[in-house]
Amino acid sequence: MKRGKGMKFVGDSRVRADKPKFIPKDYSEYPGRTEAFWPNFLLKEWLVGAVFLVGFLCLTIAHPAPLEKLADPTDTAYVPLPDWYFLFLYQLLKYKFASGAFNVLGSVVIPGLAFGALFLAPFLDRGKERRPHKRPISTGLMLLSIVAIFWLTFEAAHHVDWEAKAENNKPELPEENAVEIDQSDPGYEVYQANSCIQCHGDDLSGGAAAPSLIGTEHGVDEIKDIAVNGIGTMPADQFAGSDEELQQLAEFIVSVNEQAAEGD
C-alpha cells in the first residue's frame, strides 16, 4: 500500500489541502448587516476584548490602586464611598423617593428592574430588526439608562471634596524602628506570667491603662522596685514570683530599651 497517495500537503502536513473551506451561513434573509456569530463575530469581539484587557493590565501596573488609610472605627467624620462604577447607585439612594421609608425602592426595586430588564431584553425584544432607529423602545431605554448613569455618577462625584478625601486617606506606614520583642526571652515569660502584660501590652508599648515601657528611664533596680511597690498610679504587688524571676523581668525590660535606643 502506498501511503499518502492522492493527498496534497500544505505547510502543516497534518492538514489536508483539499479540506473544505468554512463557508458561513447565508443570513441575507435577515434585514440589516449580519455575520456569522462563530467564528467571525466572536473573533472580533475577542480581539477587541484582548486589547482592552492588556490596556487595563498596563494601567494597573503603572498606577496601582491606592489603599485608603487603616480603618478607624472611632472616626465618625469618615464618609465611605463606593468605587466610581457604583457611584450612580450610591447617588440614587440620596433622593427622597429612594431613601428613608422607600429604601427598598432605591436599593432593590429600581436597580433590580433595570438590571433584570437587561437580562430579559433578548426575550422581551424579539424583533428581527438590528438597526437602532428601527427599535425605538430598546434604543430609547438604553439611551435613557446611559444618560441616567452618567448624570447620577456626575452628581455623586460633584459633591465629594476629592482633594480633602485624598489627603485624609494618605496611607499611614507602620513605624520603621518598632522594637522587636524576643518572646522566648525568660524575662518575657515572667512579664507574661505576671499581670504586667495586661496593662503594659504584649509588646510593652502600653495601652489605655498604662504607659509604654519602651523609653522608660528606669534602670534594673528601679524596675524591680516598681514591680513590687508600684509607682504613681500603678498599684503595688503586681509581681508575684522569685527574686531570680524579678531580676530576669527587669533585665528584659532594660534590654528591650537598649535595643530600642539602638534602633533610633
Only one of the segments 19-27, 102-110, 170-178, 206-214 lies at the binding site for ligand HEC (rule: CB under 6 A); that segment is 206-214
The answer to the question of residue 255 lying near ligand HEC (CB under 6 A) is: no
Rounded Cα gap, residues 76 and 140, in angstroms = 43
List 142, 148, 210, 220, residue binding ligand HEC (CB under 6 A): 210
Q: Write the CB contacts of 20 (distance below 8 Å, at least 6 apart in sequence).
A: none
The answer to the question of residue 233 lying near ligand HEC (CB under 6 A) is: yes
Count of residues interacting with ligand HEC (CB under 6 A): 24
The answer to the question of residue 195 lying near ligand HEC (CB under 6 A) is: yes
**Position closest to ligand HEC via CB:** 232
CB of 264 to ligand HEC, least distance (A): 17
CB of 53 to ligand HEC, least distance (A): 58
Site pattern 27..56 for ligand HEC (x: CB under 6 A) = ------------------------------
Asked if 156 and 87 count as a contact pair (C-beta separation under 8 A), the reply is yes
Nearer to ligand HEC, 88 or 239 (CB): 239
The answer to the question of residue 232 lying near ligand HEC (CB under 6 A) is: yes
| Amino acid letter, 60 | T
Rounded Cα gap, residues 36 and 56, in angstroms = 29
Cell of 84: 466610581
CB of 259 to ligand HEC, least distance (A): 16
The answer to the question of residue 214 lying near ligand HEC (CB under 6 A) is: no
Rounded Cα gap, residues 104 and 164, in angstroms = 32
The answer to the question of residue 220 lying near ligand HEC (CB under 6 A) is: no
Rounded Cα gap, residues 91 and 105, in angstroms = 13
| Amino acid letter, 219 | G
CB of 237 to ligand HEC, least distance (A): 9
The answer to the question of residue 135 lying near ligand HEC (CB under 6 A) is: no
Nearer to ligand HEC, 92 or 196 (CB): 196
CA distances from 86 to 90, 93, 113, 138, 233 (A): 6, 11, 16, 23, 52
Only one of the segments 42-50, 147-155, 167-175, 198-206 lies at the binding site for ligand HEC (rule: CB under 6 A); that segment is 198-206
Nearer to ligand HEC, 111 or 215 (CB): 215
Rounded Cα gap, residues 233 and 64, in angstroms = 49
CA distances from 209 to 40, 75, 233 (A): 72, 22, 10
List 92, 110, 204, 227, residue binding ligand HEC (CB under 6 A): 227
Task: Classify each residue of 64-95 as buried b or exposed e, where b means 16 or more C-beta atoms within 10 Å of its C-beta.
Answer: eeeeeeeeeeeeeeeeeeeeeeebbbbbbbee
Give residues in contact with ligand HEC (CB under 6 A): 194-196, 198-200, 209-211, 213, 216-218, 223, 226-227, 231-235, 238-239, 249
